[in-house]
Amino acid sequence: MKPGKAVGPDSLPIEVLKAGGHTAAEFVAEVLNASYASHKSVDIGEGILRALQKPGKPAGPLANLRPIVLLTLLRKVLSVVLLNRVRAQVDGYLSASQAGFRIGRSTADIVWAHRWLAAKVIR
């Protein structure tokens, strides 16, 4: 996770976890593992809803705002861990044309390919 990002309801930036190194990572793992082993929830479901102005759009209309939710540090960590564990299996179910939100792929590449193919067909 990148440093300098907005913090959630716990007010903990990612820099706290990174500064703690291996010891902090072990502590977070112990907290999450104990929570799931005991079937007791760690309060990671909270978030702060914010509306951000879309880049290049005039201020005012609600259509020019983008909602985001600022999550707790533990939720961000858990999300990244789960994503890394399931990414390989999920990628096996996605078609080659699926590019959004995938590592090493871009929707811009797909748009370019479609335009290139369309230009060849027109010729």
Q: What is the mean pLDDT of each run of 10 residues along the chain (123 residues)?
A: 87 90 91 89 85 91 92 89 89 82 82 85 69
Q: What is the pLDDT of residue 113?
A: 84
Q: Return the domain boundaries, the chain.
A: 14-96
Are the C-beta atoms of residues 47 and 69 closer than 8 Å to each other? yes
**Residue 82 CA from chain centroid, whole number:** 11
The tokens for 59 are 């201020």
